[in-house]
Amino acid sequence: MSGCGLRARAFAALSHKGGISTPPKLSALNPLTLYARGVQQVRTRAGSRTKFLLEESELPRHWYNIRSDMPTALQPVLHPGTGQPVGPDDLAPLFPMELIGQEVSEEAEIAIPEEVLEIYSLWRPTPLYRAWRLEAAIGTRSRIFYKYEGVSPPGSHKPNTAVPQAFYNKKEGRTRLATETGAGQWGSALSFACKLIGLECKVYMVRVSYEQKPARRSMIKAWGAEIVPSPSEQTQSGRAILSEHPDSPGSLGIAISEAVEDAAGRDDTAYSLGSVLNHVLLHQTVIGQEAFAQMELAGAFPDVVIGCVGGGSNFAGLAFPFVREKIAGREIDVLACEPAACPTLTRGLFAYDFGDTGKLTPLVPMHTLGHDFVPAPIHAGGLRYHGVAPLISQLVRDGLIRAEAYTQNDVFASAVLFAGSEGILPAPEAAHAIHGTLQVAKAADEAGEERTILFNLSGHGHFDMAAYDNYFAGKLEDVALDEDEMERALRAIEGLPTPA
Ligand SMILES: Cc1ncc(COP(=O)(O)O)c(C=O)c1O
């Protein structure tokens, strides 16, 4: 993509909306034309608008690949047996070739298949909001915008990648997908995508979330998938954990081992991951491309971009098109928000580590807390992962992204403040981004400065009400990872190759 490709597209979106600046003449003064004229007049006043919407025809046609612009190349993923970079053949038992190609691609843009665009159009483009009421509630001088991904059928950003993953697998002849899920958002998204595209789906759901979120289980079943709590008795990895820790709350690392084992053992089945991998982050860039055009509609450009980070996909999806501008010289503060109970970016090591607890995946260069680290059972289940996407890890190393960690009572207080002003009840994961936004706005106010802040509201919290109940009852524990436990967990990566 050319130097100004994204901006050009944002402008193309604007000029396509030529009606905004030069409304066509309306003839008769019947009620409908009066309404239409009113709509056009309101649309000209970007300064007072709340929602910035794009047409279906303005859906991005490509995913944006940040690898083409990164100042430092990614280090290779290694085969744990040989220590050599993995090749397509190593990955073929788990993924379709098209996704393997995307995983290693350095092309700036990858075309989104028409069939995927058709399904995206069920909920995309998603709205961008100006948070007028939140700004008033906290009395900030800053302008706050948020991109809302909770309008998708499963309620989060996750189907942005679930749909293309299901599509490519079906195209290459797989009939079944196996996956893990933390809070249940990813499991819901993949079961939704498999249902629409016509694949079977098996979901290993982290036990603590399986118990905390029964409604997510039902949603996954409603879309026809099979679901079991992880660790389960159905795989060797699950049985090994249960024999040592019969009460294990589970973790994403354990559930990934189970799903990988399931997929590796059956020809008809591929593995599908909801975050971390390059192709997953790539698919999520529809979020940031739309937001880029919508900020143009609002007549604004963010000087702070914020998202929560589990494996990193929603954060990357919003942030990467803006990080690209930062690489090109624009000043933007890009902030990743994580839980203090699982502080991968703020306290983890940049190292080669396994993506799962059972050591079935290749070695990935990333910030990690160690593959056998089991985070405390905080309510933001989707952020309980020991690693972070290599793309984000490298950009943190290069100083293009910074990170902060928060404890859960503070995060829930911000979620309730947000719900009370903007109305939307956020997922506990997304509430980390809200909390980060409030910290940035507060610091700016204290310094007598004004910021334009854009954050990703990655999902709604309608299936997380037990977490809110616990918060209101004062039952949430503020867990910050203990230094001794961190040292213990990091011992698991001793002896593994070290990145350059
Ligand atoms: C609503 C929501 N936001 C964020 C996340 C974190 O995942 P990622 O960092 O890949 O966006 C999850 C994961 O389950 C989620 O459900």
pLDDT digits (tens, 9 = 90+) for 111-122: 999 999 999 999
C-beta 458 within 6 A of ligand 1: yes
Q: What is the pLDDT of residue 183?
A: 86
**Residue 491: other Cβ atoms inside 10 A:** 10
C-beta 125 within 6 A of ligand 1: no
Residue that wins the pLDDT comparison between 21 and 203: 203
What is the gyration radius of the CA atoms in the chain, in angstroms?
22
- Taking CA atoms, 208 is separated from 15, 133, 382, 479, in Å, by 49, 35, 12, 16
Mutational test site, ligand 1, from 147, 308, 342, 464, max ligand atoms within 8 Å of CB: 308
Q: What is the pLDDT of residue 377?
A: 86
> In angstroms, rounded to a whole number, what is the distance separating the alpha carbons of residues 232 and 225?
16
The residues pairing with 405 across neighbouring beta strands, listed in sequence order, are 338
Helix axis angle, 286-297 to 5-16, nearest 10°: 60
Task: Find the range with the poorest average confidence among 32-46, 345-359, 467-481.
Answer: 32-46
- In ligand 1, the atom with minimum distance to the C-alpha of 185 is 16
pTM over 0.85: yes
CA 270 to ligand 1 center in whole angstroms: 22
CA 363 to ligand 1 center in whole angstroms: 22
C-beta 154 within 6 A of ligand 1: no
C-beta 337 within 6 A of ligand 1: no
> In angstroms, rounded to a whole number, what is the distance separating the alpha carbons of residues 351 and 369?
9
Q: Residue whose CA is closest, atom 14 of ligand 1?
A: 382
CA 43 to ligand 1 center in whole angstroms: 33
- In ligand 1, the atom with minimum distance to the C-alpha of 460 is 1
Q: Residue whose CA is closest, atom 5 of ligand 1?
A: 382
> In angstroms, rounded to a whole number, what is the distance separating the alpha carbons of residues 96 and 177?
11
C-beta 181 within 6 A of ligand 1: no
pLDDT in tens, 125-164: 999 999 999 999 999 999 999 999 999 999 999 999 999 9
Residue located via tokens 């929560």: 308
Task: Find the range with the poorest average confidence among 188-202, 233-247, 254-268, 367-381.
Answer: 367-381
User: Confidence class of residue 482 from pLDDT cuts 50, 70 and 90?
Assistant: very high
Q: What is the pLDDT of residue 30?
A: 65
Mean pLDDT of 189-205: 98
Q: What is the pLDDT of residue 6?
A: 46
Residue that wins the pLDDT comparison between 351 and 13: 351
Burial (Cβ within 10 Å: 0-12, 13-18, ≥19) of residue 2:
exposed
- Taking CA atoms, 248 is separated from 336, 369, 377, 451, 459, in Å, by 29, 18, 10, 44, 27
Mutational test site, ligand 1, from 165, 203, 275, 344, max ligand atoms within 8 Å of CB: 275
C-beta 430 within 6 A of ligand 1: yes
User: Confidence class of residue 11 from pLDDT cuts 50, 70 and 90?
Assistant: very low
Task: Find the range with the poorest average confidence among 38-42, 92-96, 410-414.
Answer: 38-42
Q: Strand 363-368 relative to strand 269-271: parallel, antiparallel, unpaired? A: unpaired
Residue type, 279: H
C-beta 425 within 6 A of ligand 1: no
Tokens found for residue 349: 């090591």
Q: What is the pLDDT of residue 314?
A: 98
Tell me the pLDDT of the chain averaged across its residues: 92
C-beta 156 within 6 A of ligand 1: yes
pLDDT in tens, 300-333: 999 999 999 999 999 999 999 999 999 999 999 9
pLDDT in tens, 19-70: 334 444 445 556 665 655 555 555 455 678 999 999 999 999 999 999 999 9
> In angstroms, rounded to a whole number, what is the distance separating the alpha carbons of residues 165 and 424?
29
CA 14 to ligand 1 center in whole angstroms: 30
- Taking CA atoms, 73 is separated from 178, 315, 390, 401, in Å, by 31, 20, 11, 16
What percentage of the chain exceeds 90 in pLDDT? 86
Q: Strand 128-130 relative to strand 51-52: parallel, antiparallel, unpaired? A: antiparallel
Non-local CB neighbours of 189 within 8 Å, separated by 6+ positions: 152, 154, 156, 158, 159, 161, 162, 274
CA 196 to ligand 1 center in whole angstroms: 22
Mean pLDDT of 387-399: 98
Q: Strand 109-111 relative to strand 62-64: parallel, antiparallel, unpaired? A: antiparallel
User: Confidence class of residue 212 from pLDDT cuts 50, 70 and 90?
Assistant: confident
Mean pLDDT of 483-491: 95
Helix axis angle, 408-422 to 465-472, nearest 10°: 110
Q: Residue whose CA is closest, atom 1 of ligand 1?
A: 459
Categorise residue 95: left if φ over 0, alpha if ψ from -120 to 50, beta otherwise: beta
